Structure 1
Amino acid sequence: MAGIPKNALVLVGNGRKALLLRNEGDNQFPNLKAEAVFEDQNPPTHLQGTDRPGHFIKGIVSGQRGAVEPTNWHELEEYRFTRRIARAAEEIVRSGRTTAFVIAAPPRTLAQLRATLATDVKRHIIAEIPKDLTRLPVGEIERHIVEALASPTR
């Protein structure tokens, strides 16, 4: 495939921001337009939960105490945000408004999306790009995606 198909849905995101873009151009000359923008508010950990991990007694006889791994509230919120984005993309794909789906996200977010997206929606994925492109202008996003689709190592 030489480019982004017309009407393809392009998800560009990370754990805090996501853009759902639609290609209104054609394979050779993409023209990505924003369909939806999502931004997550992820406040500091001390505003989300306790800063100190809990403790437990390992054995009544030994009296040893152990610590519980602290909850990483940022990772938990990023996972919830990723699920929310996946549901929005699934709705668009299932409504028939697109037949091709491209995802560009950092490797961890990409893995979370793979685990979250439904099987029927995964069938529409034509490319996965393991890069964070969220801070780039749309023209640069287009260029990166076209290059990735044209690359023989894809």
Structure 2
Amino acid sequence: MTEIKQGTWVVVTDSEKALFLRNLTDHQNPNFEVVAKEEQDNPPSREQGANRPGRMHDSGPNQKSAMDDTDWHQLAKERFAADLSERLYARAHRGDFDSLILVASPQVLGNLRAALHKEVADKVIAEVPKTLTNHPLDQIEKLVKHELDAA
């Protein structure tokens, strides 16, 4: 069982926002304080693309096929994990945390795990595969504790 010790950081994120929390107490009665919040403005792809999708010639006479447009919204989500990884790396270098718990959906956890620097990855003591970004702080405390107790 992983315990949330005093000073442990908990990062609750989805692909557009992140909440950086620090545990002030112990595992029995976790009390998180907000250290920082990050949010990315990520409008739908239709509002981000400037041009229509391209067309390419097919093998038949006078035939063309449409090409898929870039999914700018999805690209921004993937970039958010890389940006978050860089923020955590900078915080780890400053000595802001010794242990870290990541809370995100499985897909976001995968993107984040792939982007983490080794120095940060070594400080990760647990991962909670849930989306809790829109939950109140007291519910996040209870749900994270419950997930770690069940693991």
Question: Counterparts of 1:69-148 in structure 2 under 5 Å?
Answer: 69-148=68-147
* TM-score, with structure 1 as normaliser: 0.88
| Alpha-carbon distance between aligned partners in 2 of 1:68 and 1:29, rounded to the nearest angstrom | 54
Unaligned runs of 5+ in 2: none
| Distance in 1 between residues matched to 2:88 and 2:42, nearest whole Å | 21
Number of residues paired by the alignment?
Answer: 151
What is the letter of the counterpart of residue 140 of structure 1?
Q
Contact 1:2-1:27 at 8 Å conserved across structures: no
Q: What is the RMSD of the two structures over their aligned residues, measured on CA atoms?
A: 1.8
Q: Which moved more, 1:43-52 or 1:13-22?
A: 43-52
Could you tell which deviates more after superposition, 102-111 or 38-47?
A: 38-47
Shift of 1:11: 0.6
Opposite residue 66 of structure 1, the aligned amino acid is: S
Flag as ranges the 4+ runs of structure 1 deviating above 4 A.
61-64
> Cα distance 1:42–1:127, how it changes in 2: closer, same or farther (>3 A)?
same
Equivalent position amino acid for 1:15 in 2: S
1:73 CA displacement: 1.2
Structure 1's unaligned 5+ residue stretches are: none
Deviations 1:87-123 (A, max 9, x none): 1122222322211110111111111101111122111
Distance in 2 (alpha carbons) for counterparts of 1:51 and 1:29? 53
User: Percent identity, aligned pairs only?
Assistant: 34
Amino acid at match of 2:21: L
Give 2:130's aligned amino acid: K
1:13-24 equivalent positions in 2, closer than 5 A: 13-24=13-24
Task: Give the 5 Å matches for 1:16-95.
Answer: 16-50=16-50, 52-59=52-59, 64-95=63-94
